[in-house]
Structure 1
């Protein structure tokens, strides 16, 4: 199969019932720029820039209820699809700056924890979304030198860190040009040069 080149996480799509409180936290407290704000009556979809390539987005659904607060990484029973989001910071000092900001604003923040390949700080946003802020340890680069330290790995895990050819069927035929259509979506108006915010 032809390799796919990924460029990071374009966005994580979360839910809030109160976009203004969410903006105050992600933009004003954490310092992430609000780069897309689109909506219509009963619907908003806003994006905050985490980095040059990654964003976190929120749908505002007024009838949604915040999730139950759950500690990061603690197993649960029953239906579940998400545990927490980890955001990388460029400097280790950023972890302590975030701890200070969060606690000054009345949010709980953990101690900085050493996980062997990253140092992490944990907290929750106003929607009770579990957040981790992580800084890579300078002496351990798992992307260049992957590590297996699980004492009981599965047979699939033992096949190694790289994609295994033949694990899935290859597409039998490529898509024809007439099958490569892009359909209009909610954000069509974003291509317009018009914006309520002026540069």
Structure 2
């Protein structure tokens, strides 16, 4: 088992603050106080607040992928996409501030379409693209569209719905919103079928 480093503690404290208060609630002073170090000590590990927040986002993306890959998943691509959709919506509902920072906030280090995605630099969109590729290979999905545009379309549907919900533009409780996302996601999956 590896030892928890000061850098890990700083990242964990920033993650907690971001999850509880949003990006605006993360300051070097607050992180330092939570860790029990001076604010200046953080700069040994992170050059500035933005670098720290990007580290939080990268760690959260890595954790999402780790959780996804560590669980048993169905072989059928359509069922795999359905599970991804459920996991994604549950994450967004369970940790809305972290989700918003990861997917909705403007960040200099954020991956950009199309180059970063085609270069497989997006750990979460890679999962969608791999499921679509598997669906084509399993003869469940059509192969007539650009893989990365199709993956982006699937992700954009979810991100848009979640952004509307987080902005209180969809007036329904979380369980009803989750069901709406699943219904609309299922329509998206059906559009991919042969």
TM-score tier, shorter chain, comes to: under 0.3
What TM-score, normalized to structure 1?
0.24
Larger radius of gyration: 1
Q: Which has the higher strand share?
A: 1
What TM-score, normalized to structure 2?
0.25
Work out which structure has the larger RCO, using CA pairs closer than 8 Å and 6 or more positions apart in sequence.
2
